[in-house]
Amino acid sequence: MSPADNRLVQVDPGAQDGWITTRLDFLVNWARAGSLWPMPFGTACCAIEFMATAASRFDLARFGMERLSYSPRQADVLLCAGRVPLKLAPVIRRIYQQMPQPKWVISMGACASTGGMFDNYAVVQGIDTIIPVDVYVPGCPPRPEALIYGIMMLQKKVMQDRMKDTTRHVEIVPDTESQLYIPPSRIDELSEPFGNSVHQTRSAP
Annotated binding-site positions: 45-46, 111, 140
Q: Quickly list DSSP for the chain.
A: --GGGGSPPP--GGGS-------HHHHHHHHHHTS--EEEEE-SHHHHHHHHHHSTTT-GGGGT------SGGG-SEEEEES--BGGGHHHHHHHHHHSPSS-EEEEESHHHHH-TT--STTB-S-GGGTS--SEEE-SSSPPHHHHHHHHHHHHHHHHT--TT-TTSS-PPPP-TTSTT---HHHHHHHHSPP-STT---TT--
Measured between alpha carbons, how far is 174 from 99 in angstroms, rounded to an integer? Answer: 14
The binding site for [4Fe-4S] cluster consists of 45-46, 111, 140
